[in-house]
Structure 1
């Protein structure tokens, strides 16, 4: 073993019932395991604690209380002191005075996060028995850095809340009883050569590249999502961890295993989607956004009371909700909260993450990232956690989307894409920057992650604050042809058959589409496949789409005119999920030098069989309504005349001294 290298560091979090679990765990760990263990136990801050002495009874390894600045050594166990938080940096332990009040402290999350940052893919986190959810956010950070996450099985735990919290969050690689956990860890370490992942070189071996490309194709076929634009070393690290869990040494063997197991394909897909997320990550960035960038944006757009923002790769929603809260604070402190509204579109590949984001419910340990003032203003305490209040939830629309292949949102005032570009190949990053420029309005704000920049696109964006990675879109329009739209704007494979089949196919397509149109529709219409690729155009669609009428290989998302580009993708997705047609009324579509009000209808087709899975989009012009004159014969007018008559009669009756019912007929 290399003496200058930090040994594999295994963080162990435990709370109520944890001592029994720790005993079962360490009893099965050999004294010469070449690993370091750091135990984070919830301790009474008023008592010195006897945990080191108790653990020493169960192991031949040296057990000691952690000290400030001590460098961790192999075959040693370090225990957190009472009334302290513990972190690790460059292989050294550091003690911190707790900031959160007693009862809200989350020492396991605190250490696990630092472990993830320090050890990256070599980090290992273990959750044992305990109440609450401490450790879940820390495991998320470990997983995001391609580390290993393990928990005690809930049925073997005296208190199962902590293991359940991590499992429910979808973060766990291995769940086992405490006495079996070390064997699982040792197997993974052996697979990864004692904790050091094999892929540290910048270029993968050719055989590994080939196998990885086949895995990418397999996942694309299974999920519809293409990971070819992601950095290969990052993908390989995630693949290699799955290999280690199944004790597979060769990637070609794992590829064979993957082909035979659909469940493993789903697990690998989830593995690739794990991302770092938390509320108000990088606090200084959000303060800069609240105090300077957003107020300046409002000052530059005094007439745009409805602003739009997009948060791609939003994961479980923390980033999108953080933006909503910061915007609320910014307009409130400017006394403009009654004027300006923000609509946020938050998207992610992971359907499960999107569903959790929509619920807006988070564990109690978010108190480590959210101030008491924000918790009080924007959250409602519920069960053992917090739920985002209704006002903030209604600001955000969540949807499943692939930023690389799906159409972007447009006419944006804010685009918050943090820590996604670092996972993408440089070629893919260069495609996204012009697309971001296209999606933003002039002087719109682009926010990137702290390790990301606009690179060589200084002509498209100007710097607002380089430290916060805040940029402003320049007033420089790119030619439409210079923007490389996502692949789903255009068909990857053209729908061209052999010469012998082409006339018959085209004839069948035309006759079936026109028969369907004659039976059910008369307006201008377009038939598209599930990705929006145009199969057939019926009638004159120039007022709604860029291409002329006729058969085309282009995609409707690229061809849609202003006024349709946002509503059309939503209508298409909704139509694919139901049998009845989706109708959006009263859309104003920009035409050459003017505008047209239309009704948009999208219908999923299931018959005939040759058109099944396609969607029929129809455009119906609507006359702009003229201001209506008051109708003498309308119900409201009749009521007013009736009561006026009653008042006159009542007055007349009063003058005559008679007491008759004014409504009664004479």
Structure 2
């Protein structure tokens, strides 16, 4: 299988504690040169002048360029970047942004790893070199969820061992290696062309061909009896390639060989495919809804009816979700002040995960997910870890259970199946949903993950919260379980006890045993067929009883035997398989070459040969009786069929064949429709995720607009007050004032101005030259134009013609804050008394 490597930059994030710098020197001294990577180092517990010291230290150990990060710096390959003390690093593709410590409780290492996972996905490598602090687990989860690779330095090389790798969940770590091995592994992942992590034959072909995928899943089924064939192929493929990369297997064939011969690798790959990533109170809005709206109602109802409250947490992994529900149930009971019999059943297919869950011991980092009140109420703190208190553990029963095969518990008030269905194909999703529906009481509650839905069971559930995927069972009805159909790249054919495909060595072994029994040496027409009636071998055909038609070969023996023998042969084959014994017919009439021949037909089953237990041997002999009797006389039957019966049987066989062909066409059409619907469903799910993301963005934008609107409202109120102040000021000074825009249109004026200029309140926005005035100033409009053009103050004493009062006319340009002339201000002041 020839593959081609994509040219893509890798980003390696290294989290290290200041006391372990010697290990960083070892790592860089063994890192090959000219790798297409950028390395970013986050150091915990560093001093203020530490970054410059680290730059000097690393420059002497590596040929890579070393920089202390500056805000907005662009990331380049073959370069090492060091995060300054007291700063958090956020990645935006290849831009490095430095931030002040955010308000949330994320540590610098977790914050950086999460940003690395979000931006670089499968091209992200996270290396955690632990020290005296405890940090990094949440970041490793993010890297794994984004299909990146999480690596941890082995404890054997620790200088400071107060944080061992035991503080980190083993399900989150790809490899625990020494600094030298870490450097070598990075080289294998990034540079070796046989690395399958980023390989493509072309953009349309699958990463793993169907034959190899079937073989891998078959190995896992034999090991664990878990059928992964109905899980999403993309997820399975990524996980397999992940393991292939970490083992440095190179070609996929090498990994399959390793998988066949290593039970430990089978165990690791199984755990990888089961995807046990979880945490306490994951998706906080869903838990808040459960705490405030669902559980109080369930607890109150169970207390009133004096019944047991039954809850099932399926696919519970290492138990965080089950304990989260238990804490909320206990809190709801405490609020009512009444006791209640509660049983929480927590199940998973992974026995290793269940052992962790039953112990209830978790790393110290869970304090980031659980409130201090809950930690104090429900956990006992030990050095480096928390253990769930016995009183809470007694509420739960952990048990192994395969959600895809077996019905779960019954009479449940609440069933949680969150973030499991997303890894399954639609057919399996519907089967699992029907099993969950069966487990619920009428009006019971079903919880799904935020990206999951109930699909075709919409009529069976009432939607309580569409965004958080909370449903109530509508009625007490038993749904039929869907049967999983066989697919081209799926495992039922692999696991079937009736295998119809033979390899060459198997066929040779079988033919040898046939000859040892003497069948191949007898001069009798002899055929070997399988349980599907397909011809596998012709030992002797002297009687020329087979007719191979022209065109596409069809090796079903009842189709290529002479027409007169089709009915008796088909009947004999059916009886032999049904009764598991040899069948003998005599006296079968055959007319050819103007002669009548009597045929003896034997169909031998099992024949005491180990390799033939799933195959049948057909003997057809003309006239002469057999020299070796394979059956006693009581088994012999004379085959006689009336012509009209034979004709009717032939017609029925033809109709049956037509029905089979029509059914096969219908099945193929339904499979095509199902594939189209599945593709449409995936598109809809993707669209739904996009819409959900868009909705969140719109919500954020709406909040921003609300904030801006509030600011504008405050500004408007300020302007309103200011305008009212000006109006009151102008009214109080008894001076004629007229405001004009630069086109001489009237903006506003005071009542005293109407004595000099003949304007009214309805004349706002009309040009002032439309109106007459009562001033002895014939060039009134001209001097207004002059003041506007030259942007200067013009003063003139004028007389009011009606009363003879002397007025001081002042015409002043209206200058804005940005020094732009935007109109004219005219004032008329009575100066009689001056």
Contact 2:430–2:482 (Cα < 8 Å) also in 1: no
Once the two structures are superposed, the pairs formed by residues 218-257 of structure 1 within 5 Å of their partners are: 218-257=219-258
Q: Distance in 1 between matches of 2:182 and 2:429?
A: 40
Tell me the alpha carbon deviations over residues 220-240 of structure 1, each in whole angstroms, 9 at most, x when there is no partner. Answer: 111122211211121111111
Look up the match of 1:315.
Answer: 317
Contact 2:196–2:250 (Cα < 8 Å) also in 1: no
Q: 2:82 aligns with which of 65, 69, 79?
A: 79
Once the two structures are superposed, the pairs formed by residues 475-490 of structure 1 within 5 Å of their partners are: 475=475, 477-479=477-479, 481-482=480-481
Is 1:499 equivalent to 2:499 in the alignment?
A: no
Contact 1:123–1:147 (Cα < 8 Å) also in 2: yes
The unaligned stretches of length 5 or more in structure 1 are 503-666
Q: Distance in 2 between matches of 1:411 and 1:201?
A: 51
- Deviation for aligned residue 1:218: 1.1
Q: Which has the higher contact order (CA 8 A, sep 6+)?
A: 1
Contact 2:431–2:481 (Cα < 8 Å) also in 1: no
SS of match in other structure, 1:459: helix
- Deviation for aligned residue 1:180: 3.3
- Deviation for aligned residue 1:73: 3.2
SS of match in other structure, 1:217: helix
Look up the match of 2:602.
Answer: none
Look up the match of 1:43.
Answer: 45
TM-score under structure 2 normalisation? 0.54
Is 1:306 equivalent to 2:338 in the alignment?
A: no
Contact 1:38–1:78 (Cα < 8 Å) also in 2: yes
Tell me the alpha carbon deviations over residues 368-423 of structure 1, each in whole angstroms, 9 at most, x when there is no partner. Answer: 11122221111111122111112221111111222112331221112121211111
Look up the match of 2:166.
Answer: 165
Q: Which moved more, 1:493-502 or 1:152-161?
A: 493-502
Look up the match of 1:420.
Answer: 420
Is 1:357 equivalent to 2:357 in the alignment?
A: yes
- Deviation for aligned residue 1:164: 2.3
Tell me the alpha carbon deviations over residues 127-185 of structure 1, each in whole angstroms, 9 at most, x when there is no partner. Answer: 22412442234324433443222222222221245452367624433333213322211
The unaligned stretches of length 5 or more in structure 2 are 1-5, 487-494, 499-575, 583-834
Contact 1:378–1:389 (Cα < 8 Å) also in 2: yes
Q: Which moved more, 1:493-502 or 1:237-246?
A: 493-502
Look up the match of 1:336.
Answer: 336
Is 1:21 equivalent to 2:29 in the alignment?
A: no
Q: Distance in 2 between matches of 1:61 and 1:237?
A: 31
Contact 1:230–1:425 (Cα < 8 Å) also in 2: yes
Classify 1:41/1:189 alpha carbon distance in 2 versus 1 (closer, same or farther; 3 Å): same
Contact 1:64–1:77 (Cα < 8 Å) also in 2: yes
SS of match in other structure, 1:175: strand
Look up the match of 2:366.
Answer: 366
Is 1:449 equivalent to 2:449 in the alignment?
A: yes
SS of match in other structure, 1:216: helix
SS of match in other structure, 2:414: strand
Which protein shows a greater Rg? 2
SS of match in other structure, 1:125: strand
Look up the match of 2:264.
Answer: 263
Q: Which moved more, 1:7-16 or 1:108-117?
A: 108-117
Tell me the alpha carbon deviations over residues 570-616 of structure 1, each in whole angstroms, 9 at most, x when there is no partner. Answer: xxxxxxxxxxxxxxxxxxxxxxxxxxxxxxxxxxxxxxxxxxxxxxx
Q: Distance in 2 between matches of 1:131 and 1:192?
A: 38
Look up the match of 1:558.
Answer: none
Q: Distance in 2 between matches of 1:454 and 1:408?
A: 18
- Deviation for aligned residue 1:31: 5.2
- Deviation for aligned residue 1:482: 4.9
Say how many residue pairs are matched. Answer: 491
Q: Which moved more, 1:206-215 or 1:424-433?
A: 206-215
Contact 1:191–1:244 (Cα < 8 Å) also in 2: no
SS of match in other structure, 1:183: helix
TM-score under structure 1 normalisation? 0.66
Look up the match of 2:273.
Answer: 272
Classify 1:338/1:122 alpha carbon distance in 2 versus 1 (closer, same or farther; 3 Å): farther
Look up the match of 1:387.
Answer: 387
> How large is the RMSD of aligned CA atoms in angstroms?
3.5
- Deviation for aligned residue 1:307: 1.2
Q: Distance in 2 between matches of 1:448 and 1:441?
A: 17
Q: Distance in 1 between matches of 2:265 and 2:156?
A: 24
Look up the match of 2:596.
Answer: none
Q: Distance in 1 between matches of 2:391 and 2:455?
A: 37
SS of match in other structure, 2:457: coil
- Deviation for aligned residue 1:194: 7.8
Q: 1:326 aligns with which of 318, 325, 328?
A: 328
Look up the match of 1:127.
Answer: 128
Q: Distance in 1 between matches of 2:275 and 2:65?
A: 35
SS of match in other structure, 1:416: strand
Q: Distance in 2 between matches of 1:361 and 1:486?
A: 41
Look up the match of 1:184.
Answer: 185
- Deviation for aligned residue 1:91: 5.2
Classify 1:249/1:286 alpha carbon distance in 2 versus 1 (closer, same or farther; 3 Å): same
Q: Distance in 2 between matches of 1:329 and 1:88?
A: 40
Q: Distance in 2 between matches of 1:339 and 1:163?
A: 41
